Amino acid sequence: MRKRTVKDIDVRDKCVLLRVDFNVPLKDGEVTDDARIRGALPTIHYLIEHGAKVIACSHLGRPKGIDESLRLRSVAERLSELISKPIKTADDCIGPEVEAAAASLKPGEVLLLENLRFHSEEEANDPAFAQALASLANVYVNDAFGAAHRAHASTAGVADYLPAVAGLLMEKELNFLGGALAEPERPFAAVIGGAKISDKIDFLSNILTKVDKLMIGGGMANTFLKAEGQEIGHSLVEDEQLDTARSIISQARERGVQLLLPADVIAAEKAAADARFITTAVNAVPEHSAIVDIGPMTMSVFARSVDSCRTVLWNGPMGIFEMPPFAIGSYAVARSIASLDNATTILGGGETGAVAAALGLEGHYSHVSTGGGASLEFLEGKELPGVAALMDVPG
């Protein structure tokens, strides 16, 4: 069911409670990566231009009570720079002073509330806390896809008290990710990495019913390789998931899905940036080495495979990308997908987006999701509480 968006309602002269995902990295009190702030700008600009009184709210980090290092003042400063407009701030997110600040807003002004998670009631989805947030506004707009998989007061609870619609970023996420699952242009390929099958069992099971090609790398590929009888040294492996891997291999065969596993890999004596490493076929991994990345032959095979596709979804790195020597496979996949001119290319959030950002390629994909856990759960076919709470499009 499609969700109503901020464009479907009249926001002029109304106080709009805007849930954003400003959970950004900080260092010495400064924002080091403003991608999530930038992601919310289209909705913020839309609200300002349409005469709304914007009351933005977000969490930051995982504080246990008030944490001075996790206040949102530096976020407010960066947002002000990005929209070339002063941002009003509050020392809390509920209470009389916040109510007064919200009531004094003029159309086109923006107030950023303090860190929602300074109150334990936020994560508990406490009805009284949700009602206190809702009392500040006339309308609720959720643009925080990255937090939509959490049933918190600010992502789900407030929708019990206010008309609730999607922001423009939320709409974009749902359109791209939902479109990939529902009506992808074919051939449709998924490139899946990351450390463990156990983290992505539901995702793999669901995506297997949608795709024409499935390429698996990263630590999870080790379990598939062992399930096929390969000797993988002392690589990371989930022995308890070997039957799961065999089942996925069998299902792919039955469905006619082309399943590609690494043919060659980078193997190192230890997972360290200064470790000695070799390129080897998957059937010749030294006994005392571990697989840390896909090899050049596999990079080429994956690149050729996605080259003919009209929809490509990538979620998860191909190796220990945090260590430069073992990031080559992830970078190769990032570049291969970025080079596709006639395909819809979608990257999952989290580590996948970080790989693209490291290469400065974010603008070369159709969509880079802002939600790590949220995008994964959505692609698993699960209903996200923050999405379910929004009003449906009639009919």
Q: Which residues are catalytic?
A: 36, 196, 350, 373
Which residues on neighbouring strands pair with residue 27, listed in sequence order? 30
Mutual orientation of helices 35-49 and 168-182 as an angle, nearest 10°?
A: 120
- The residue length of the chain stands at 395
What's the 3-state SS for 252-263?
A: HHHHCCEEECCC
CA distance linking residue 212 with residue 121, whole number of Å: 45
Which residue matches tokens 């990079």? 299
Structural contact between residues 347 and 311, judged by C-beta atoms closer than 8 angstroms: no
Q: Cis bond leading into 25, ω under 30°?
A: no
Report the alpha-carbon angle 281-285-288, nearest 5: 165
Task: Note every long-range contact of 127-133, with CB atoms under 8 Å and residues 24 or more positions apart, other chains counting.
Answer: 127/157, 127/160, 129/94, 129/153, 129/157, 130/154, 130/157, 130/158, 130/160, 130/161, 131/157, 131/160, 131/161, 132/94, 132/95, 133/17, 133/57, 133/93, 133/94, 133/157, 133/158
**Which distant-in-sequence residues (6+ apart) come within 8 Å of 214 by Cβ?**
189, 190, 192, 207, 208, 252, 257, 258, 259, 260
Count CB atoms within 10 A of the CB of residue 308: 12
Do strands 264-268 and 277-281 pair parallel, antiparallel, or not at all (unpaired)? antiparallel
